[in-house]
Structures are given as C-alpha cells and as structure tokens.
Structure 1
Amino acid sequence: MASPFVAVAGASGGLGQLVAMQLIKRGVAVKALVRPNTNPSRTEKLRSAGVAITPVNLSEVPSLTHELNGAICLVSTLQGLKEVIHTAQGNLLEASVAAKVPRFIPSDFSLDFTKTQPGSNRNLDLRREFHAQLRKSGIAWTSILNGGFMDLMAGDSPMINHKSQKVPYIGQPTQLLDFTTMMDTAAYTAAVAADPNPAPNFLRIASDTVSAQDIADAQTKVEGVRYKPSWMGPVWFMEFMIRSLRLFGGEKEIFPVWQQMQYMTNMFSGAGKLEPLDNDRYPELSWTKLQDFFRQDKESPNR
C-alpha cells in the first residue's frame, strides 16, 4: 500500500473485523493481516469495505516486516495462549520495530492486569509477561483495557440465569464491575490507532460500570419480570474451586471453566477494576449503557 495505513492482525476475528471497519469509517486505509488458510468468507465484508486482505505467516518476521512498511500503527487482536500472545504477537512486535512502525497496540483488551496478582489469572499473566517484550522493544505502545466484554452477557450467559431470573455473583453484590461492548472497544481502538498525537501506555475504558444488583435491575426493566442477585459464596471459596478444577487439566484450552472463574474472581474481588477511566479522550465516541444493551439483545432476531 502506497499511502499510510493501519495494519490489523487477527482481522478475521470478531474484534479485529470491528476495528478494521471502524478505521475505514474514519477514512483510514487498512491492511488486514490474516493467516494464509483463512476462509475467504471470513474476510468478504472487509474486502467489500476496501480493506486490503493480506495473507501472511505470523512465524516469518521478514515477510511481516515487508508487509508493515509504511504502517502508522499495528493493532493486534490475536487471541490464544502462549504460542499466540508471546510468540506470534512477539513476531509482530519484532517486525513492527524493524519496519519502523510508530505505534503498537497489543491484544490486551482485558481487566486491569497491572493490578491483579500474578498467578491469579492465567490469560492475564500471558499479557503481563508480553509487556516485558514491549518495554524492551523501544516502540511506542498503547494498551487498551476494557474490563469484560458486555457482549458475553447476551443470550444464555453464565452471568445471567434467565430460567431462574438470577444473577450469580461472589463476594459482595455491590462490587462495581467494568463492561465494554466489542463495538465500543473497536471504535476506541480505531481512534487511538488513527490519532497522530502521542498516547499513554495504558488507556482504560468502560461502556458501563455496574454491580450484580445493577445487572439484575437492568434485566428486570427490560424483561418485565424480577431478576435477583444470587450469592455463590465468598471470593476465597471460588479461588479454592479454581485450584481444584485446574488439577483436572484444561491448560491447553483458551477458556476452560477454571479460566472463566479466574476472570470472575478478579472482577468480584475488585482486583481488576479499571480506574480512572479514559472514556473522555475522544469526545466524538458514545458509550452503550447496560440496559440499552439488554434491550438491543432482546430485540435481536438471533436471540
């Protein structure tokens, strides 16, 4: 691509596609880095929108470097375990440095792992460890932390039991939790990637900050029947359950049951709480409130 562009790695995935489309809306040229065997149907929408689809082997740094020449930013939305977050993303970082890309946005998109205890969340640990590579690289980087994805509360969610009209929680029902929709996350990420101004290393955002009681109240208003918080026990008991379940395996899975429980523990203990928020950095952006999200989900034909 002759003109400056933003490269998006993992653009065939849900978040990656949204980031690419938000960049196109901003009039920014986009090069989508996808694996060579990616099904064309997964990138058809991007191609139709004018995104340059570029198959590339993430293990080949010279090829990646060539494709990144002229990029103003690399956005990684890769998801996986160590071989993805450390190795594949590390190759993207090395290639970005070699191609003199001005900014790198790693695939963090999570709770505030700068505040969680090492060992309390396997997937957050992988992100924390990758930051050692980031700091050594010398490249300007910005990590976007968005709490939990609000989209995970759509339909039959582990966080909401529609049959019993209950919202499971651990610890205290008043503990505040940060949630951001994938669309809001993508819009903010695109704004950062396209911003010619320097950005801090960490930006924290949330579409809405709510408690278990707030979740129940929002569902009550949308569904017209009363939802209640349902206590599952103290945080320490969940931590004990995680250690027990982990003995039975799941280390090669991205989201085994115990990994989901680790996120729940980090959220309801307050360890991963995002503060202060940087929502106001781009005033043109709007944020999806939880009740509006539930209403949109209820009206969705796919529900």
Structure 2
Amino acid sequence: MNAKILLAGATGHLGEKILRKLLDEGADVRVVIRPNTPLEKIGKLKQYDIGVIQTDMSNINELTLACQDVDCVVSAVHGLEDVIIGVQSALLEAAVNAGVPRFIPSDYASDFTKQAAGENRNFDLRRKFHEQLDKSPIAVTSILNGAFAEILFRGNPLLDVNNNSVSYWEDEDKKLDFTMMDDVATFTAAAAMDATTPRILRIAGFQVSPKELAAIAGESKEQPFELIRQGSLEDLRALIQRERAAHPEGEQELYPAWQQLQYVHSMFSTTLFPLDNKRYSDIQFADAKTFVNMLVEAP
C-alpha cells in the first residue's frame, strides 16, 4: 500500500516541491492549510490529486483528525516562534494523539546541533522545538542540508557572477555546504516513505570552498574571479551584534539583514558530517560545477 503522508507548509516554495516529489514517489498525500490561505494558493494545490484540509493550526482536535491513519507527518512550515514552536507543537501533539509513527520537522538547515545557542535566532527556535521532539514518543527524523544553493542566484556576494568575485569570511579554504532545493525536496520525500530513518540525516549537494568556487566560476565564465576576504568570524559576529542592536524591528521579521548574516556565520563555522547522500541511490545531487554553470548562464 502507498504510504499516507500529511504535509504542512505545502503552499511554500519548498513545501510545494516536497508535495510534488511525494506524489512522484506514489504517496497518498493530504495537506493542512490555514483557513485564511489565499484562494490562488488553494487553487494551485487543488490541481494535484491530494486531500486539502483547511484548519486552525492551533486546533489540536482538528489536526488529530487530519492525522488519522497517516504514516508520517512532514513539516515544511517557516516562520518565527509562533510557527516553528507554536504550529509545530500542535502538529506534534496531534500526530502523537493519532498514533502517527513518524515526524519530520521543518529544519532544512545547517547543523545547528553543533552550534552554540545564540549564534542564530532562527536556529535557536528549531533547537527549542527539538527539546519537545526528544521527549516525544514519536520517531523523529531531522533533515539537515546546509544552505539552499539558490541563494547564490540573488546577487549574494558569496558568488557575484556580475562582478567576477567571491567573498568569504575567515578562511578561503573552508568548505561550505550547499544543496539545491529540488534535491532537498527529493530527499525529504524519500525519507518520508522510509520507515527506517535515523534521528538525523545530513545531505550536501556539494561542499566547496570559496577558493574552489572562484576557480569553478572562473572556468565557467572564462574570466578570472577575485577572492575578497571580508574579515574574521569574530569580525562577522561583531557586525551581527551591531546590526541587530541598530535594527530591533528585525526581531519581528523572518529574514532581517542581521539574520541573513547569522546564516552566513553558520556557513563558515560548521560543516555537515557525516553525509547521508548515498542513502537513496537513485538521487543524483547537482554538483558545484553543474550549479555554477547554471548560475553563469542564467539571464
């Protein structure tokens, strides 16, 4: 029989990709969405052969009904404390009430289990939710994937193909973890269908240093790329503290500038290891050269 999966966060960019990959895997999918979800997003979901359940995401009884006969709850929600802890806590309680055997939380990040508290506001929320997960009777699998490679498409100074430069902090030889969002979705769908997953799965489509990134981009564009050192990790930490103090309104925003700098700090201070890329042999991750070629050729 096909696995029955409940997906939360299917209207988001990653969530919809996970939905499509689950359907490709032959899963029987139902999604939970808020009552105030825009009609455009609801219409987009209804193009798929899935169950769409609109419910108050804090209503434990309704969420428990949605979880009935489900093999795995997959969360791809994103937000601040009210979502990462509030909504996911309700999902977790409902899953336990309904006897769901497995739960995949919305982590999809660098390995915050190896980072100190206070280094990254959004990771601290996930770490706090993990305290609940670790006390729960349900089997939990977190998927950690480093940075979504697509961030480099947004004029990110880590790789500036317009100005032929690669910026870095501390060490030009530090390996950075990148995974394309499609590959994260494919791996997540496979993990959701796999009843034997461990507590943590780590994946990285490619691990590449700033120096290697500059060489690959230079070869792809047939022009030299300059390596630009922005400072040490201590310099970056001090910059984050100044920016956060100067912009307190960012505490209510998901991605204020200082939070984005915190993500950069995590990239240059941790490395995913060991990797579980080979757990599902049919998944072929985009490598650094393939991705950089794509980036250079993008309009």
Question: Given the two structures, how large is their TM-score scaled by the length of structure 2?
Answer: 0.95
1:260-275 matched pairs, under 5 angstroms: 260-269=260-269, 272-275=270-273
Question: Once structures 1 and 2 are overlaid, which stretch shifts more, 219-228 or 39-48?
Answer: 39-48
Partner of 1:24: 23
Letter in 1 for 2:290: D
Aligned with residue 204 of structure 2, among 199, 203, 206: 206
1:55-204 matched pairs, under 5 angstroms: 55-196=54-195, 198-204=196-202
Indicate the SS of the match to 2:251: coil
C-alpha separation in 2, matches of 1:40 and 1:192? 30
Q: CA deviation at 1:162?
A: 3.2
Kept in 2: contact 1:167–1:228 (CA 8 A): yes
C-alpha separation in 2, matches of 1:42 and 1:213? 41
Partner of 1:37: 36
Q: CA deviation at 1:9?
A: 0.3
C-alpha separation in 2, matches of 1:260 and 1:155? 13
1:186-220 deviations in whole A, cap 9, x for unaligned? 00000010113x21100000000001112212222
Kept in 1: contact 2:215–2:225 (CA 8 A): yes
Indicate the SS of the match to 1:15: helix
Letter in 2 for 1:200: P
Partner of 2:287: 289
Indicate the SS of the match to 1:49: coil
C-alpha separation in 2, matches of 1:298 and 1:170? 23
Partner of 2:259: 259
Kept in 1: contact 2:2–2:26 (CA 8 A): no
Indicate the SS of the match to 1:167: strand
Kept in 2: contact 1:20–1:51 (CA 8 A): no
Kept in 1: contact 2:60–2:93 (CA 8 A): yes
Partner of 1:222: 220
Q: Note closer, same or farther for the CA distance 1:161–1:299 as it changes in structure 2 (3 Å cut).
A: closer
1:270-290 deviations in whole A, cap 9, x for unaligned? xx3110101111111110012
Q: Note closer, same or farther for the CA distance 1:121–1:50 as it changes in structure 2 (3 Å cut).
A: same
1:62-121 deviations in whole A, cap 9, x for unaligned? 111111101110110111111111111110001110111110000000010110011111
1:243-258 matched pairs, under 5 angstroms: 243-248=241-246, 249=248, 250-258=250-258
Q: Note closer, same or farther for the CA distance 1:155–1:82 as it changes in structure 2 (3 Å cut).
A: closer
Indicate the SS of the match to 2:82: helix
Q: Note closer, same or farther for the CA distance 1:78–1:233 as it changes in structure 2 (3 Å cut).
A: same
Question: Once structures 1 and 2 are overlaid, which stretch shifts more, 288-297 or 18-27?
Answer: 288-297
Partner of 1:237: 235
1:171-190 deviations in whole A, cap 9, x for unaligned? 00000011111100000000
Kept in 2: contact 1:6–1:73 (CA 8 A): yes
Indicate the SS of the match to 1:108: coil
Question: Given the two structures, how large is their TM-score scaled by the length of structure 1?
Answer: 0.93
Q: CA deviation at 1:3?
A: 7.3
C-alpha separation in 2, matches of 1:252 and 1:13? 19
Letter in 2 for 1:283: S
Kept in 2: contact 1:21–1:46 (CA 8 A): no
C-alpha separation in 2, matches of 1:117 and 1:184? 28
Q: CA deviation at 1:45?
A: 4.4
Letter in 1 for 2:30: K
> How many residue pairs get matched?
297
In structure 1, list runs of 5 or more residues that go unmatched. Answer: none
Aligned identity (percent) is 38
C-alpha separation in 2, matches of 1:79 and 1:158? 25
Q: CA deviation at 1:298?
A: 4.3
Question: Once structures 1 and 2 are overlaid, which stretch shifts more, 128-137 or 220-229?
Answer: 220-229
Indicate the SS of the match to 1:32: strand
Q: CA deviation at 1:229?
A: 1.8
C-alpha separation in 1, matches of 2:267 and 2:7? 29
Indicate the SS of the match to 1:16: helix
In structure 2, list runs of 5 or more residues that go unmatched. Answer: none
Kept in 2: contact 1:108–1:144 (CA 8 A): yes
Q: CA deviation at 1:267?
A: 1.7
C-alpha separation in 2, matches of 1:147 and 1:211? 14
